[in-house]
Amino acid sequence: MILTQLLQGEPYNLQKQEKQPILLEGLNELNAWHHQNCTEYSNLLDAIGMEPPWYTKSVTETPYLTVPLFKQLELKSISEEDVFKVLHSSGTTGQTPSRIFLDRDTAALQSKTLVRIMQHWLGKPRRPMLILDHPGVIKDRQAFTARGAGIQGISFMGRNHCYALHEDMSLNLEAIIKFEQAHSHEPVLMFGFTFMVWVYFLQALQKEGIKLNFPKGFLLHSGGWKKLQDQSVDNSTFKQEAQQLLGLNAVHNFYGMVEQIGSIFVECEEGHLHTPAYADVLVREPGSWKVLNTGQTGLLQLVSLIPKSYPGHSLLTEDLGKILGEDSCPCGRAGKYFLVEGRMKRTEVRGCSDTYNVPT
Ligand SMILES: [Zn+2]
């Protein structure tokens, strides 16, 4: 399988000419697989008139599902007995969360991909890890929330795990200070969800007048910016505050979603999100659904070679963003690099059909 070969290599060294045919072949294989194994998916392909052998000639022609579809339908390409884990999106009140069905193989592939990507940024040895959340968040192993799944996924990269917060989201100062005393001068990993990190960790440290010292620390954070933008906190403010309060340099956001966990897009030193070899991003114009050019803002479509147990290999998200370039980021990594610029309003997303779209 193509993905197995890709996983032998580095995540950011495939140039466009090499990457596009590999992606296309992998996506075509997945189209055929899901058509054969997921009734709802095959109905959708039939409805748009796609016929065997399901081969499209370019990645842009790959059919895509919209993310809300995973809230409405039980989409899986495996039998009930093979379901190993069900992931749930966090979902706001009154909304059904997405349900993502994983078998052992897909779950293993997701962890492996995540590890390959994160090792690029953190190096191979596991780092002492400060989890910027409370321990209760991963307790329910049957029905992981996006937060729990994210923390569990990234925890693979760490050792000597320490939770920075109590169950009531207050600072666990005793644990934090102990962690600092033990690991201050080693390379450590800190991870949490952007909004939680800002409100319950950084702001709380500031209120207490505490500055930590982790000169070799790496703060990784993920999650939407909307709630922070409401408080006028942007990426550079977040970064500066984190650097100052934690005594570290490396602060990296990553973009990803539970519907396509494993293919995450990590922010480089230039502030750009990078596509790894196993995934790619396209931007579509809302309404016409045409693929937009570099620099034009539209809805992000994510393609990934990982989802095999459910048809999540090509998804139109509700996030707005733009591609900045390909193979040309000053940081030297190959692949497309992009920005996420916000979320489309729900009413506008509804206009993009609640089911699927015919590729153009
Ligand atoms: Zn870069």
CA of 331 to the centre of ligand 1 (A): 4
Inside any domain, residue 100: no
User: Quick one: which of 259, 256, 258 has its CA closest to 315?
Assistant: 259
- Confidence at residue 90, expressed as pLDDT on a 0 to 100 scale: 63
Find the 330 Cα to ligand 1 centroid distance in Å. Answer: 6
pTM of the shown model: 0.91
Q: How far is the CA of 263 from the centre of ligand 1 (A)?
A: 17
Residue 81 in any domain: the answer is no
Residue 232's region, left for phi above 0, alpha for psi from -120 to 50, else beta, is left
Residue 321: which of 295, 341, 292 has the closest Cα?
341
- DSSP 8-state code for residue 198: I
Tokens 């060294």 belong to 13
How high is the mean pLDDT in each 10-residue block of the chain (360 residues)? Answer: 85 96 94 94 85 81 92 93 86 72 94 93 97 84 68 91 95 97 97 95 97 98 84 92 97 92 91 96 96 97 96 95 98 97 66 39
Q: Which domain holds residue 158?
A: 110-255
The Cα-based distances of 1 to 37, 85, 143, 178 in angstroms read: 18, 23, 30, 46
Q: CA torsion sign, 138 to 144 to 150 to 152?
A: positive
In angstroms, what is the span from residue 255 Cα to ligand 1's centroid?
14
Q: Is residue 98 part of a domain?
A: no
327 Cα: distance to centroid of ligand 1 (angstroms): 9
| Contact by Cβ (8 Å): 176, 214 | no
Whole-angstrom distance, CA of residue 254 vs CA of residue 360: 29
In a domain? residue 183: yes
Kindly give the distance from the C-alpha atom of residue 333 to the centroid of ligand 1, in angstroms, as a whole number.
6
Whether 184 and 225 map to the same domain: the answer is yes
Q: What is the CATH number of the domain that holds 166?
A: 3.40.50
Q: Nearest to residue 7, comparing CAs of 93, 109, 87?
A: 109
- Å from CA of 23 to ligand 1 middle: 21
226 and 169 fall within a common domain:
yes
Between the alpha carbon of residue 270 and those of residues 14, 278, 333, 350, the distances in Å are 19, 22, 11, 34
Q: Specify whether 251 is located in the same domain as 312.
A: no
3-state secondary structure of 273: strand
Ligand 1 centre distance from Cα of residue 294 (Å)? 15
What distance in angstroms lies between residue 252's CA and the mean position of ligand 1's atoms? Answer: 11
Separation of CA 102 and ligand 1 centre (Å):
31
Which one, of 303, 318, 355, 296, lies nearest residue 61 by Cα? Answer: 303
Q: How many A from CA of 121 to the centre of ligand 1?
A: 12
Does residue 260 belong to any structural domain of this protein?
no
pLDDT given at position 44: 87
What's the CATH number where 315 sits? 2.30.38.10
Please give the tally of structural domains in the chain.
2
Looking at the fold, whether 277 and 249 belong to one and the same domain comes out as: no
Whether residue 91 lies inside any domain: the answer is no
Determine contact, residues 329/270, Cβ cutoff 8 Å.
Answer: yes
Tell me how far the alpha carbon of residue 122 lies from the centroid of ligand 1, in angstroms. Answer: 16
Q: Are residues 319 and 244 in the same domain?
A: no
pLDDT score for 92: 54
Indicate whether 161 and 235 sit together in one domain: yes
Compute, in angstroms, the gap from residue 203 CA to the centroid of ligand 1: 29
Give a yes or no: residue 337 inside a domain: yes
Domain co-membership, 208 together with 300: no
Of the candidates 342, 297, 301, 302, the residue with the CA atom closest to the CA atom of residue 322: 297
Radius of gyration for the chain, computed over Cα atoms and rounded to the nearest angstrom: 20
Instruction: Tell me the one-letter amino acid at 259.
Output: E
C-alpha to C-alpha distance for 179 and 199, rounded to whole angstroms: 20
Centre of ligand 1 from the C-alpha of residue 250, in Å: 14
227 with 275, same domain: the answer is no
Spell out a b/e string for 167-192, using b for 16 or more CB atoms within 10 Å of the CB, else e.
Answer: eeeebbeeebeebbeebbeebbbbbb
Instruction: For the chain, give the number of residues.
Output: 360
Calculate how far, in angstroms, residue 6's C-alpha sits from the geometric centre of ligand 1. Answer: 20
HSE-CB at 294 with a 13 A cutoff on CA atoms is 7
Same domain, 151 and 233: yes
Residues 213 and 343 in one domain: no
The encoded tokens of residue 95 equal: 């909304």
Regarding whether 290 and 214 lie in a shared domain, the answer is no
State the distance from the centre of ligand 1 to the C-alpha of 303, rounded, in angstroms: 20
| Ligand 1 mean position, distance from CA 107 (Å) | 28
Is there a single domain that holds both residue 232 and residue 285?
A: no
The predicted structure's pLDDT at residue 94: 60
CA 217 to ligand 1 center in whole angstroms: 20
- What separation in Å is there between the alpha carbon of 340 and the centre of ligand 1? 14
